[in-house]
A and B are shown apart, each in its own frame.
Chain A
Amino acid sequence: MRVIVRKRVVVPRRFALAVRIGSVVLALLAVAVIFYAYGVNPLDVYRSIFFNAFGTKVGLTETIVRMMPLLLVSAGLALVFKTGFWNIGAEGQLLVGAMAAYVVARTFPDASSIALIPSMFLVGFAAGAAWGIPPAVLKAKLNVNDVISTLMLYYVIYWVFQHLIHGPWKARERVGQLTYGGFAHTEIISKNAWLPVIGETRIHWPTLILSILAAVGVYVFLNYTTAGYEMKVVGDNPEAARAAGISYLRTVTLAMIISGGLAGLAGVGEFAGIQHRFTPEFLSGYGFTGIITAWLGGVNPIGLLIANFLFGGLLVGGQYIMIDYKLPIGVVDMFNGAVLFFVLAGDFLLRYRIQLRR
């Protein structure tokens, strides 16, 4: 038996879509086996996920709450992936953005919402971008592997964060006359810094608007600006880009500023819109899940919206099944991993034709 792998000359568009959908379906099947091993009926589980995520009003609004940060992160990632640069550290850029928002809110507790909210987003974007720049420069100047440097920088900021909330940023709590530092969390930021929400839901609408703008924005940017053109050239043929005088450093740095910045915005939204203070469990993996949805959606607003809405739903539904079926907390991560695996394998299928022969 021999395996022959050949590059495809043309990838039909419909085939590309089919492979993407197919990979999600395969992931569902693979994880079903594991549910089955846990002694629960996979069909029930999926029905429950679907119902809890999309079937109730609360479920739907919660799905949107999860979709917003995912959309921000994946829009930036889809763009930076176009340049052939692998930003795996969006989770870190998100965290830096959130920390920047906290600093703003803490420094100006009495400022008005009108001043605070835009400044938090601005500073959060800048912080996320700043955290994204070093890997770009390192790759351009010293050819440092982007996957490793972006991921490592995530760990760096993660431990800085842990240090801060266990020490310098730890809340001083007051009981009567006594103040003492108790648990590893920060103070709740002043109400002025809280993002407004829609009605009774947790949908902080400024982030919703930003996330939709981001999904449309990256598409417009890539296809209608000269900088976007440069990114396509660099991603497709870096040598030709160099010969045409396109700076790799500038192009990739700009892509990372956008990607890191958008992840930073997601962090601001999550912090000022939902959690309002830091606990050790602040992060919930949007930066990593966004890698998958960026692959699925591509630089395409509709694709990004659909992929992130579905994954937002999965995160919501996943929570319920852990409770309803007493499944371990890792199940949702496992599902994510399975999807990523199948999506990447599917992508390989898109580019290569595989044949088995005797």
Chain B
Amino acid sequence: MASEATAVASEPRETDLLVKMVSIVKRFPGVLANDHVNFELRPGEVHALLGENGAGKTTLMNILYGIYYPDGGEIYVRGRRVEIRSPRDAMSLGIGMVHQHFMLVDRHTVAENIALGYAESLLNPLKEIKERLREFAEKYGLKVDPDAYIWQLSAGEQQRVEIIKALYHGADILILDEPTSVLTPQETRELFKIIKRMRDEGKGIIFITHKLDEVFEVADRVTVMRRGKVVGTLKASETTKEELARMMVGREVLFRLEKERVSRGKPVLEVENLHALNDRGLPAVRGVSFRVHEGEIFGIAGVAGNGQRELAEVVVGLRKATAGRVLIDGVDVTNKSPRFIASRGVAHIPEERLRHGIVPNLSVAENLILKDYYKEPYRRGLLLDHSKVIEDAERLINKFDIVTPSPLTPAKLLSGGNIQRLICARELHKEPRLIVAAHPTYGLDVGATEYIRRILLEQRKRGAAVLLISEDLEEVLQLSDRVGVMFNGEIVGIVRPEEASIEEIGLMMAGARRLAREEMAS
């Protein structure tokens, strides 16, 4: 059915195609994740794969990479019909994949991770690996320290390791599943350079993303999926952002939100001269002070790793402050328990969603009550009222459009973006006083991004205070009333988005400029 749409100008001969997937079908209990999907990849092309959360992008790529076996359809690699039954098969066909959530072993070094299970020589693979790592560094600009431990690396560096791991096996078909959602703008630019260099070498790259601008920046062609089907394949040069969005969601998407004027109330969150350490015991937050008022969104901009994450964790009680105070509605909550702080009306969308946000083997419904299970109406004496839990879960699943076969499905089986929707639903459905949101739209499709941003604005209108932390500068500037720029653990400037220029903020993010106390917007 969907095949007419994909039969776009097939100039190259069949045998020239790197990958051709024909009529792929994949079912999971309760979902048809891929419904007769056709997809092709040419050599020397970057092919973007777009689609709503749960559209089946990751599933399709997992099939190509041998993680899932399709229920129907055929796969051709370089013109030859193949059966891919494991990642090993995929690798031997020259297919590499960087997953949506990284799969590196934290406690091992870069070289060891690359060696794990894959090295050619059994005796001393590390030496050989280090040598080839140097080669990659020169050829593609993929620089990493082979002896660094994974836990010491930033998200961008970890991703480079994943890419190297794929290239290490001579992959010339590279799948990148939402590679940019965890990257800083600089890291993203680096990644694009690497991608372009690989394309120029004749490799084929499949690139999944939710950020439409990126499609125009790197992709040659783009395939849009919706509810398991391919809607169409287009040349990037012949389409527009609006058209792609419409194909994805099936309706018009607003890229600019109307931000109403809201009069600011009394302060909700007050942070005074706050200090905290990071996981390695080094100072990460160094004397930060600011206030967030009722009806205000206070954005924090900064390059990842400048203390934003630690700041958010201290505010919600997940990390100890070493000095300073945090007040919520005038009550000192410094170093109080997460539950105490949550009970003051603080909602939290955590940065590390898999680590702090969900309980993977519990059901969607059970995950939705994670913060409320001990309260009415879920708790009945010592018992948990299951029918109420399910009833409310169904309501939230509808309201926040969480794509799941049922409320009883384990949360880990949801697609990446739907896990994020689940967390947003849990945190934002009530009437919080303060919302601490770290990368709230991370991994969300355009429709859901719009929806979550709208909710944040609605909450602001209702009188909530919002502390918004995001590496997406555009998002921060668009939503915030004031923006604090963090550099090296300090707030080096507080500005109003309409008054400051991007260049000025960029300079502050890089630590090259600093506002005096009286220059800060209050």
Please tell me if A176 contacts chain B, counting CB pairs below 8 Å. no
Interface segment among A107-115, A150-158, A239-247: the answer is: A239-247
Q: How far is the CA of A227 from the CA of B373 in the complex (A)?
A: 10
Within 8 A of A (CB), among B380-427: 382-384, 386, 412-413
A9 to B414, CA, bound (A): 12
Q: What residues of A have a CB within 8 angstroms of the CB of B67 in the complex? A: 9
Q: Are A243 and B87 in contact (CB under 8 A)?
A: no
Chain B residues within an 8 Å CB radius of A236: 359-362
With A224-B383, A237-B360 already in contact, the answer to whether A355 and B374 are too (CB < 8 A) is no
Q: How far is the CA of A33 from the CA of B355 in the complex (A)?
A: 46
CB distance A357 to B88 under 8 Å?
A: yes
What A residues does B6 contact at CB under 8 A?
A: none
Question: When the two chains form their complex, are residues B383 and A240 in contact, meaning their CB atoms are under 8 A apart?
Answer: no
The answer on a CB contact under 8 Å between A245 and B337 is: yes
Q: Are A237 and B117 in contact (CB under 8 A)?
A: no
With known contacts A226-B373, A242-B338, A243-B318, A355–B356 Cβ distance under 8 A: no
Given known pairs A4-B86, A4-B88, A232-B359, the reply for A226 and B383 (CB within 8 Å) is yes
Interface magnitude class on chain B: 35 or more
A216 to B460, CA, bound (A): 49
Residues of A near B357 (CB, < 8 A) are 240, 243
Asked if residues B370 and A233 are in contact (CB atoms below 8 Å), the reply is yes
Contact between B86 and A226, CB atoms less than 8 A apart = no
In the complex where A4-B117, A232-B362, A239-B356 touch, is A244 in contact with B383 (Cβ < 8 A)?
A: no
| B342 located at the interface, meaning its Cβ lies under 8 Å from any Cβ of chain A in the complex | yes
Contact, CB under 8 Å: A240 / B356: yes
- Tell me the nearest residue of chain A to B412, going by C-beta: A9
A239 to chain B, nearest CB (A): 5
Nearest CB on B from A305, distance (A)? 24
> Measured between C-beta atoms, what is the minimum distance from B441 to chain A in Å?
20
Residue among A227, A241, A244, A245 facing the most chain B CB atoms (10 A cut-off): A244
**Which residues does chain B contribute within 8 Å of A224, judged by CB atoms?**
383-384, 386
> Interface size class for chain A?
20 to 34
Q: Which residues of B contact A246 (CB under 8 A)?
A: 339
B348 interface residue, CB < 8 Å from A? yes
Least CB separation from A233: chain B residue: B359
The distance in angstroms between the C-alpha atoms of A241 and B358, with both chains bound, is: 9
Assess whether B45 is interfacial by the CB under 8 Å rule: no
In the assembled complex, B350 has its CB within 8 A of some CB on chain A: yes
Nearest-Cβ distance from residue A71 to partner chain B, whole angstroms? 23
With A232-B362, A245-B338, A355-B86 already in contact, the answer to whether A240 and B355 are too (CB < 8 A) is: yes
Chain A min CB distance to B388 (Å): 13
Q: Is the CB of A2 within 8 A of B117?
A: yes
Q: A245 — which chain B residues lie within 8 A by C-beta?
A: 337-340, 342, 371
**B383 to A233, Cβ gap below 8 A?**
no
Q: Does A5 contact B (CB under 8 A)?
A: yes
* A225 vs B384: C-alpha distance when bound (angstroms): 5
Do B88 and A355 touch across chains, with their CB atoms under 8 A apart?
yes
Q: Which of A5, A225, A229, A241 contacts B366 (CB 8 A)?
A: A229
Most chain-B Cβ atoms within 10 A of its Cβ — which of A228, A230, A233?
A233
> Can you offer 12 A-B residue contacts whose CB atoms are under 8 A?
A226-B374, A226-B378, A232-B361, A236-B361, A236-B362, A237-B359, A240-B356, A240-B358, A241-B359, A244-B338, A244-B339, A245-B371
